[in-house]
Chains A and B, each alone.
Chain A
């Protein structure tokens, strides 16, 4: 990455530059910015400052959903905090902030990990994939569509983490067994569903619909 091309912009000016007023809906433009880039196109890294008042001691270059960022972070910041509070990618949820529920699961360099237990400064140079990257061209991904068809989401709070664990599984093993799915999702707590329709959704997405 050629750092000389980087623009230094604060979170607010970035949002204004993206043509929106900052506010509750601010997740949308960044999410759009984080949609997968066209093949061969490497966007210039977007530099993201921490919120006003927070100390920043490190500049972390990393890629989120195909977009290069340089986030100015305080070493205490977790990846979940940077995604949610600096990049406004609030699709990644924080359920426990202590590694016990899996709601914050994202994929880092191909593996499902807990963004709440990952120091942002340690994802330097890595590739991060979040739930916002799954849908594209106005369509749900096959996994998302299968979740929808199966009724895998209820309150939806664990859903992004479930989707990321399942995405990692399916890319490592496109035709998993039911036991594989149950194991791969065993670090993602759900209080609404009893998991049955989630397992059903993942297997359907792998082309192996369950039949009663």
Chain B
């Protein structure tokens, strides 16, 4: 190989590396800006300087009692909510990215596959039976996992599965769980369980308190961290079965590991904020557009982008009007058209290959 072409390759490599670094720097900057803006934004006017000072105080002296309204708003209402939105968004995005890798299909996500609905069923059942706290999260995790098993079984994941088969399997599973949840609503006590179930299903970060945020945090953070460290492995798992196995992957086992982590993340998220859709499908695609298909960069990009996106839309939901705009409305308004574009592009590419 000539030294000229070698030199060219090296300089292209370093340009690539620089571009990726710049993109990540921009994404991280955007994340921190959105974090700060969200803390400062809200229906209750708090001057920016004061809000930032309060955050600083809260971080450096967490045991200080909070007596003024603006202190409590910033540190007890906004701060946990913004953090929960960020973690949930990051979690859902990385789940979407991982599922898309394992299913070799860019059109899947936790809610499309029915995992969120399965988890919601577990939560609704727990509420009806009067179960709270950690046992509720355990139930949510189990039913989310059950949904994954059902989809995996229906779509026959080993071997090459058609895009449409997987999505249809997801549709079947999510419809089934949604139906059972409806049934639960019918049977639930209209005084206590029913309103709780109905509200739960809607999907919202409005009920975020430090307690709930800290309950969800371990599942969200640990799950996401483990999926993040599986990013190289996902490149392998998204190969054809034979290729993946020949490279040493125990495909069946490793897929189930990914599924388990997804169930933990989605379970934690659904347990405290209900069904939140569209993030898992839209964010990984945006990440791919920005940094490419290599999971080693795409997963981290999804995490940061997912967190940023969710912070922004949740801030909109709680600030745009006096009423709380349901999160599902905003995510669907943004997500559905993007999904339509993705679907079209997927079929256009398939027919042109």
> Do they bind each other?
no
Residues of B within 8 A of A (CB): none
Residues of A within 8 A of B (CB): none
